[in-house]
Amino acid sequence: MTESRIWKAALLVIGDEILSGRTQDKNVAQVAAWLNVQGIRLAEVRVVADNTAAIVEAVNALRARNDYLFTTGGIGPTHDDITVDAVAEALGVGVVIHPEARAILERYYESRGGLNEARLRMARVPDGAELIANRMSGAPGIKIGNVFLMAGVPSITAGMLDALTGTLEGGLPVLSATIGSWAVESEVADLLRETERANESCAIGSYPFFREGRVGANFVVRSTDPAVLETVCEALTIGLNALGREAVPGGI
């Protein structure tokens, strides 16, 4: 594990149903949380339709400027599941039936009506790819280079992430703590800026809200160093109190 290097990942969410609003994406949060534990930061997220050209462009752009690229959606048995073909095109390779994936699907569907042509589509992978285990529905995810293709169903995505746990190179996990206050952001902007500047290995995010007829904000501190995290939280608490604003550990 390389502690000083910041490892970055991108997430490409694929599917017309996400863009139309018919389905609410739940994978961004769980992928981001999982990556933090692996010591990898989710640097960007893009959502694209089931369109080959759009997927190809996004895959090549995101994999080039990040250490890892994860995709969710579009690896099922239907005609509009085109992620495998699009990723293969982006990488300049063909699409093949993975023998191990075929064997997995044959076993899974043995008591479920057998392996038909549609189900066999889920054994298709970009040539040279490896598999990501899927204990829930049989059809595996796919890994090729620094690109990881996962299902769009959040529960299945979670299982694939679990199978990948501990297999990717990363840095220290990103830790976080929250301090809340009934304060207007503009009143504490200088405090936030100066505290972050004095502690370069941390980042402070400010998230305002309006509740109970008044304005407040939660300040989320992130760092890979637990000592820095504690120092910054203490500095924010002291600073807020000095401004006459109560600091609430854990947030409001």
CA–CA dist 154, 32 (Å, integer):
13
SS3 167: coil
* Size of the chain in residues: 252
User: Helix, strand, coil shares of the chain as percentages rounded to 5?
Assistant: 40, 25, 35
- CB-based contacts of 234, cutoff 8 Å, min separation 6: none
- Residue 2: the pLDDT is 45
CA–CA dist 202, 89 (Å, integer):
40
User: Taking a C-beta distance cutoff of 8 angstroms, is the pair 138, 158 a contact?
Assistant: no
Does an H or E element contain 218, and which?
strand 214-223
Summarised one tens digit per residue, pLDDT across range 13-64 is: 999 999 999 999 999 999 999 999 999 999 999 999 999 999 999 999 999 9
What is the radius of gyration, based on Cα positions, of the chain?
A: 22
CA–CA dist 121, 192 (Å, integer):
52
State the CB neighbour count (10 A cutoff) for residue 33. Answer: 12
- Residue 4: the pLDDT is 61
CA–CA dist 147, 107 (Å, integer):
27
**Per-residue tokens: 18:** 């996400």
Residues of the chain with pLDDT under 70: 1-4
**Per-residue tokens: 197:** 């500047």
158, 156, 159, 153: which is closest to 23 by C-alpha?
153
Compute CA distances 174 → 181, 228, 236, whole Å.
23, 12, 19
Identify any residues that bridge with 44 across adjacent strands, giving them in sequence order.
10
**Per-residue tokens: 29:** 């949060």
Question: What single string gives the DSSP state of each residue in 41-106?
Answer: EEEEEEEE-S-HHHHHHHHHHHHHHSSEEEEES--SSSTT--HHHHHHHHHT--EEE-HHHHHHHH
User: Taking a C-beta distance cutoff of 8 angstroms, is the pair 188, 245 a contact?
Assistant: yes
